[in-house]
Amino acid sequence: MEHLLEPHFGLMFWTILNFFLLVFLLGKFAWKPMIKAINDRENRISSDISSAEKNRQESEKLKAEMDEGLKKIKKQSDKLIKEAKELGEKNKEEILITAKEQAHKIIQSAKGDIEIEKQNAIKQIQTEMSNVVILASEKLIGKNLDSKDNKKFTEKVISELEKN
């Protein structure tokens, strides 16, 4: 077991040589490409992150602009609707007033017409009645009444009839 701590210069020398050769060759062919790949990826990730951040800020700005525009549009549309409502209300009232007026006029004229027709009808009835009364009286009395008496009589009868 005493060999355990015995230095072996050949092995030591070979280890050192071997190690420096490895440092040179592995550094050139293994670690350099690997570290380059790592650095490239890190750069890409950091640039991705910064561009994503930039995009986020831009989209936020855009969103704020959109919100502003939307607010403006809503305000305008509210105003327009209000105006339209007011206009509609005004029109409605005007139409109602004219319609009422017209209806009143029509009713008035119809009433006048009815009155005239009524008067006509009354007059006609009166003449018819007087004729009928004359005829009846003639039959009753058996003599022909002259027109002067006739008239007086009939008028008297009619006025009595009217009283009834």
Partner 1 sequence: MIVDSLEHHILDHARFHLNIFGYNMSITDHLIFITAMSILMLIAFPIIARLKHWKINSLIEVMVLFVRDDIVIASMGKEGEKYTPYFCTLFFMILTTSLVGMIPFSKTVTGNLSVTGGLALTTFLLVNFMGIKEQGLIKYIKSFVPAGAPPLLAPLMFVLEIIGLFTKTIALAIRLFANMIAGHIVVICFISLIFIFTQMNLISGLITIPPSVGMSLFVNLLEILIIFIQAYIFTFLTAIFTSMAIHEH
- Scan for tokens 């009868």, then name that residue: 157
35 contributes a contact to partner 1 by CB under 8 A: yes
Measured from the CB atom, the residue of 5 and 141 that comes closer to partner 1 is: 5
140 contributes a contact to partner 1 by CB under 8 A: no
Size of interface with partner 1, in residues (CB under 8 A): 33
46 contributes a contact to partner 1 by CB under 8 A: no
CB of 9 vs partner 1, minimal distance in Å:
5
10 contributes a contact to partner 1 by CB under 8 A: yes
141 contributes a contact to partner 1 by CB under 8 A: no
Measured from the CB atom, the residue of 9 and 164 that comes closer to partner 1 is: 9
Measured from the CB atom, the residue of 41 and 74 that comes closer to partner 1 is: 41
CB of 45 vs partner 1, minimal distance in Å:
13
User: What are the C-alpha distances in Å from 112 to residues 55, 90, 107, 116, 123?
Assistant: 84, 33, 9, 6, 16
CB of 7 vs partner 1, minimal distance in Å:
5
Report the 3 state secondary structure along 87-141.
Answer: HHHHHHHHHHHHHHHHHHHHHHHHHHHHHHHHHHHHHHHHHHHHHHHHHHHHHHH
Amino acid found at 9: F
- Scan for tokens 């009364």, then name that residue: 133
Whole-number Å distance between alpha carbons of 103 and 108: 8
- Lookup: tokens for 98: 């004219």
By CB under 8 A, which span of 1-9, 69-77, 119-127, 142-150 interacts with partner 1?
1-9
Residue 153 burial (CB < 10 Å; 0-12/13-18/19+)? middle
Interacting residues toward partner 1 by CB under 8 A: 1, 3-16, 18-23, 25-27, 29-35, 37-38
